[in-house]
């Protein structure tokens, strides 16, 4: 067990910078998830921690020691790969014990550790099978078992659930969380799935274009995104971004969305945004759950308006409604019994207490 | 029909001659063929038309399958089965091919020292050559595998050259290299004060030379097969092994070799058969000399059969390869099918 630190880590491929100077401190026992769209450098970062990729610049420390030039086998890490990377000619037990056998552990200890890991992962019945005879979920468990028996300083997961179907993914997600609760090894987990990131992580690292956009707990990222990228990436359906501008009307601050629609800002928000220049091009960031049917919600900061729905998506526990505001597509979440139908007019309410205001050019949340 | 008519017309057109002979109108044979392909409808459609028994037989799926494989069956029968059986027949005749002598030719062979020398030399030649071809192919395949991108294609192309040149031609070049008095080899050696080596005249060196040329000719085949096998090993297995603590040798031993096992076995078997039956290199380089010491089954069979005008005896010599190779094939293929279930 150990903490992991990245100091201004850079990865260059010829002219392309895949990772552009990352600083990250991961404390002991922590479960960190690197999340971002494909090509954002998250896998490269993980592979650099593993030692499978050279570091172009900067330092990586595991347990306080700089490991830049330490080969993977001497870093005392274990990695779970997307396609499991099990050795097809070895049985489950042989797969799991391979690392220990290479290090010449006593046979009794190898057996004890494999048995313990198999029990933890509920694969005791499978230890004599070959990987080919296992289902995807079982293979993933074996891959995790191979990591656990090594008892390494750090677990590295590289999109481990991407090859599983949706239902199994949810199940294995919980499995991984349970295992981490028992084993408590420092974990770095890479995924492109924001739901996985939110559900698993102690802290999430959102990456984009080789840089870290924001580091925070799942709740921080959801409620206080720092940038437009984070705001749009975390949460499904994604946050709405509606072009708007600030206006002074009779001493109070109001936000104008269209020629027709403008709302007075709640007092707390008005105080926060008052210093902004009125000429700036701004975006109103509002999550779909803060755009609901009008009659359900009343109170300060909740403003109603009329619109015509384009499309509705009944999801069972809620209905997603899509409409346009001056050509900007907007999504809202209403009660399934609110009577939302395709093409019908509807009165909706915005909860401005939960709004975000973004600078359209810089993408910074104000 | 769900599919456009063109989609199915092509394979049917190919098999039409099979029906044409039975005087079925072209139009009808078309519908017939469609019926045949759509299994469920065959019976009802046929019954509706009150078919003759001939049509009934032709309509069966198994008949169509047989008709379609007939060209290949004829080809194999004509070019493989017939010559094989004919050589068995030849091997039972006397020298003038007039009299049936049963196993007389074999009895005669077993009493001759040259025959046993050929058996021994064939085994030494094939095993040594295949071993070195495999070893060199494996090593070079690793080097080529690590050459990046476009350069790799160039190297692959160049390294394949020995295998692409007709061996009769390239062996002539080697013959010149091995020449005792004017050759490049002996000249180079003389610069170091060694030699001259009587490459093709001395028993040891003659055997060495034919094996060397065979290795030179055959190693590229192993190289290409092993290169393809190497490319099919997922990189992540090596990465997993690296993290598990394997050094380069352990990666080869625990990952590469087990993953390539089947390719290695099949390639070795294939090469063993071809090398065992090699003719051209020995024929051109030494003609079996000195004193028949480099003869293989094929070259010796040629010598006694064609040059010695005893075709039945030549056939007997070449037939003797069959049991030896069959045993090798059984052993290797059994292992392959056993291992094949894992990957």
pLDDT in tens, A205-252: 999 888 889 999 999 999 999 999 999 888 888 899 999 888 888 778
Nearest-CA distance B151 → chain A (Å): 18
Look at residue B340 in the predicted model and tell me its pLDDT.
55
Q: How far apart are CA A150 and CA A114, in angstroms?
A: 9
Q: Name which of B245, B341, B342 is nearest A102 (Cβ-Cβ).
A: B245
Give residue B21's pLDDT band: very low, low, confident or very high (50, 70, 90): very low
CB within 8 A of B137, min separation 6: which ones?
Answer: B219, B220, B221, B222, B223, B225, B226
Matching CATH number, A4-226, of 3.40.50.300, 1.10.10.10, 3.90.1170.50, 3.40.50.720: 3.40.50.300
**pLDDT at residue B11 tops 60:** no
Nearest-CA distance A132 → chain B (Å): 6
Angle, CA of B196, B198 and B204, to the nearest 5°: 125
User: Which range among A316-325, B17-26, B167-176, B255-264 shows the weakest confidence by mean pLDDT?
Assistant: B17-26
Task: Find chain B residues with C-beta within 8 A of A86's C-beta.
Answer: 240
Look at residue A287 in the predicted model and tell me its pLDDT.
92
Give residue B43's pLDDT band: very low, low, confident or very high (50, 70, 90): very low
Higher-pLDDT residue of B305 and B235 is: B235
Q: Is B126 exposed, middle or buried (0-12, 13-18, 19+ CB in 10 A)?
A: buried
B244 vs A99: CB contact, 8 Å cut-off?
yes
Q: Pick the most confident of B15-29, B37-51, B179-193, B243-257.
A: B243-257
Q: How far apart are CA A337 and CA A339, in angstroms?
A: 5
Give residue B45's pLDDT band: very low, low, confident or very high (50, 70, 90): very low
Give residue A327's pLDDT band: very low, low, confident or very high (50, 70, 90): confident
Concatenating the DSSP letter of every residue in A94-108 gives HHHHHHHHHTT--HH
Q: How far apart are CA B111 and CA B113, in angstroms?
A: 7
- The CA-based diameter of chain A, rounded to the nearest angstrom, is 82
pLDDT digits (tens, 9 = 90+) for B86-118: 888 887 777 777 777 777 777 777 778 788 888
| Helix residue ranges, H only, A253-366 | 267-273
Show me where the domains of chain A are located. 4-226, 240-359
Q: How far apart are CA A30 and CA B101, in angstroms?
A: 87
**pLDDT at residue B18 tops 60:** no
Helix (H, G, I), strand (E, B) or coil at B52: coil
Helix (H) or strand (E) holding B314: helix B311-319
B250 vs A102: CB contact, 8 Å cut-off?
yes
Helix and strand totals (H; E) in chain B: 19, 0
Rounded to the nearest integer, the mean pLDDT of chain B is 76
And the tokens for B164? 């692409």
Higher-pLDDT residue of B184 and A96 is: A96
Task: Find chain B residues with C-beta within 8 A of A89's C-beta.
Answer: 258-259, 261, 339, 342-343
Concatenating the DSSP letter of every residue in B105-126 gives HHHHHHT-HHHHHHHHHHHHHH
User: Which range among A168-172, A274-278, B239-243 shows the weakest confidence by mean pLDDT?
Assistant: A274-278
Residue from B222, B206, B252 nearest B132 by CA: B222
Say if CB A176 and CB A144 are below 8 A apart: yes
**pLDDT at residue B31 tops 60:** no
Give me the CATH code for the A240-359 domain, please. 2.40.50.140
**pLDDT at residue B49 tops 60:** no
Say if CB B297 and CB B318 are below 8 A apart: yes
- The CA-based diameter of chain B, rounded to the nearest angstrom, is 93
User: Which range among A335-344, B5-14, B225-234 shows the weakest confidence by mean pLDDT?
Assistant: B5-14
Nearest-CA distance B251 → chain A (Å): 11
Mean pLDDT, residues B186-213: 79
Q: Name which of B237, B245, B341 is nearest A103 (Cβ-Cβ).
A: B245
Percentage of chain A lying above the pLDDT 90 cut: 13
Q: Name which of B243, B254, B342 is nearest A72 (Cβ-Cβ).
A: B243
Give A256's strand partners: A245, A262
CB within 8 A of A256, min separation 6: which ones?
Answer: A244, A245, A246, A247, A262
Give residue B15's pLDDT band: very low, low, confident or very high (50, 70, 90): very low
B237 vs A87: CB contact, 8 Å cut-off?
yes
Give residue B52's pLDDT band: very low, low, confident or very high (50, 70, 90): low
Look at residue B1 in the predicted model and tell me its pLDDT.
39
- Residue ranges, CATH 1.10.3720.10, chain B: 106-340
Percentage of chain B lying above the pLDDT 90 cut: 4
Mean pLDDT, residues A107-134: 88
**pLDDT at residue B78 tops 80:** yes
**pLDDT at residue B74 tops 90:** yes
Distances (CA, A) of B133 to B140, B174, B285, B321: 10, 18, 19, 21
Higher-pLDDT residue of B216 and B289 is: B216
Nearest-CA distance B335 → chain A (Å): 14
Residues comprising chain A, all counted: 366
Look at residue A9 in the predicted model and tell me its pLDDT.
87
Q: Pick the most confident of A27-36, A64-73, B178-187.
A: A27-36
Q: Token match 């550790």: residue?
A: A113
Q: How far apart are CA B54 and CA A207, in angstroms?
A: 73
Look at residue A190 in the predicted model and tell me its pLDDT.
92
Mean pLDDT, residues A1-6: 82
Residues comprising chain B, all counted: 343
**pLDDT at residue B28 tops 70:** no
CB within 8 A of A314, min separation 6: which ones?
Answer: A336
**pLDDT at residue B12 tops 70:** no
Name the CATH architecture for the domain at B106-340: Orthogonal Bundle (1.10)
And the tokens for B151? 């350069």
Helix (H, G, I), strand (E, B) or coil at A188: strand
How many beta-carbon pairs under 8 angstroms link A with B? 67
Q: How far apart are CA B214 and CA B288, in angstroms?
A: 15
A99 vs B261: CB contact, 8 Å cut-off?
no
User: Which range among A81-90, A349-358, B298-307 shows the weakest confidence by mean pLDDT?
Assistant: B298-307
Look at residue B132 in the predicted model and tell me its pLDDT.
92
B246 vs A50: CB contact, 8 Å cut-off?
no
Rounded to the nearest integer, the mean pLDDT of chain A is 87
Look at residue B30 in the predicted model and tell me its pLDDT.
43
Look at residue B294 in the predicted model and tell me its pLDDT.
78
């Amino acid at each position: 067990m150990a903490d992991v630190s990245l100091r201004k880590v850079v990865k260059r491929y010829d002219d392309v910078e895949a990772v552009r100077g990352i600083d990250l401190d991961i404390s002991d026992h922590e479960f960190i998830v690197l999340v971002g769209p494909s090509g954002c450098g998250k896998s490269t970062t993980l592979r650099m921690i593993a030692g499978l990729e050279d570091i172009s610049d900067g330092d990586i420390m595991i347990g306080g020691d700089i490991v830049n030039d330490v080969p993977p086998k001497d870093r005392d890490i274990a990695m779970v790969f997307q396609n499991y990377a099990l050795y097809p000619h070895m049985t489950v037990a042989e797969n799991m014990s391979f690392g220990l056998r290479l290090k010449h552990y006593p046979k009794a200890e190898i057996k004890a550790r494999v048995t313990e890991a198999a029990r933890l992962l509920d694969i005791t019945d499978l230890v004599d099978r070959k990987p080919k005879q296992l289902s995807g979920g079982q293979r993933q468990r074996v891959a995790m078992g191979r990591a656990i028996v090594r008892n390494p300083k750090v677990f590295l997961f590289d999109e481990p659930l991407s090859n599983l179907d949706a239902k199994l993914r949810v199940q294995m997600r919980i499995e991984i969380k349970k295992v981490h609760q028992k084993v408590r090894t420092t974990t770095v987990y890479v995924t492109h799935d924001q739901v996985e990131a939110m559900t698993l992580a102690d802290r999430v690292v959102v990456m984009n274009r080789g840089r870290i956009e924001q580091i925070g707990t799942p709740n921080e990222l959801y409620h206080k995104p720092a940038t437009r990228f984070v705001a749009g990436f975390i949460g499904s359906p994604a946050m709405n971004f509606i072009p708007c501008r600030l206006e002074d009307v009779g001493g109070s601050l109001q936000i104008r969305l269209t020629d027709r629609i403008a709302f007075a800002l709640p007092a707390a928000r008005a105080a926060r945004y008052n210093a902004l220049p009125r000429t700036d091009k701004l975006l109103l960031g509002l999550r779909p759950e803060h755009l609901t049917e009008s009659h359900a919600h009343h109170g300060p900061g909740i403003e109603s308006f009329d619109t015509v729905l384009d499309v509705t998506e009944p999801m069972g526990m809620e209905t997603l409604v899509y409409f346009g505001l001056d050509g900007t597509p907007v999504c809202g979440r209403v009660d399934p019994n609110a009577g939302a139908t395709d093409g019908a007019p509807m009165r909706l309410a915005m909860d401005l207490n939960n709004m975000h205001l973004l600078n359209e050019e810089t993408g910074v949340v104000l | 029909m769900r599919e456009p008519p063109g989609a199915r017309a092509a394979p049917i057109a190919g098999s039409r001659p099979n029906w044409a002979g039975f005087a079925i109108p072209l139009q009808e044979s078309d519908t017939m063929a469609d019926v045949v392909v759509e299994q469920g409808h065959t019976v009802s459609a046929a019954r509706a038309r009150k078919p003759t028994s001939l049509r009934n037989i032709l309509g069966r799926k198994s008949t169509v399958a047989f008709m379609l494989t007939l060209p290949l069956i004829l080809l194999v029968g004509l070019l493989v089965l017939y010559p094989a059986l004919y050589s068995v027949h030849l091997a039972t005749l006397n020298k003038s091919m007039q009299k049936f002598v049963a196993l007389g030719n074999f009895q005669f062979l077993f009493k001759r020292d040259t025959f046993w020398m050929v058996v021994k030399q064939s085994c030494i030649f094939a095993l040594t050559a295949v071993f070195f071809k495999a070893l060199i192919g494996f090593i070079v395949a690793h080097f080529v595998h690590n050459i990046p991108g476009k350069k790799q294609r160039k190297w692959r192309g160049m390294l394949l050259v020995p295998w692409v040149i007709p061996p009769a031609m390239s062996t002539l070049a080697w013959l010149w290299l091995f020449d005792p008095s004017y050759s490049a080899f002996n000249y180079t050696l003389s610069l170091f004060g060694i030699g001259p080596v009587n490459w093709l005249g001395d028993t040891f060196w003659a055997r060495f030379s034919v094996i060397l040329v065979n290795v030179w000719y055959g190693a590229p085949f192993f190289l290409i097969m092993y290169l393809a096998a190497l490319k099919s090993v997922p990189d992540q297995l090596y990465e997993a092994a690296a993290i598990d603590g394997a050094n380069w040798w352990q990666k080869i031993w625990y990952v590469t070799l087990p993953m390539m096992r089947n390719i290695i076995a099949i390639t070795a078997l294939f090469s063993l058969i071809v090398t065992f039956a090699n003719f051209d290199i020995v024929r051109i380089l030494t003609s079996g000399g000195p004193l028949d010491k480099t003869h293989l089954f094929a070259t010796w069979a040629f010598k006694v059969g064609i040059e010695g005008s005893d075709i039945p005896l030549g056939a007997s010599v070449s037939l003797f390869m069959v049991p030896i190779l069959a045993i090798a094939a059984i052993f290797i293929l059994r292992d392959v099918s056993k291992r094949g279930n894992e990957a």
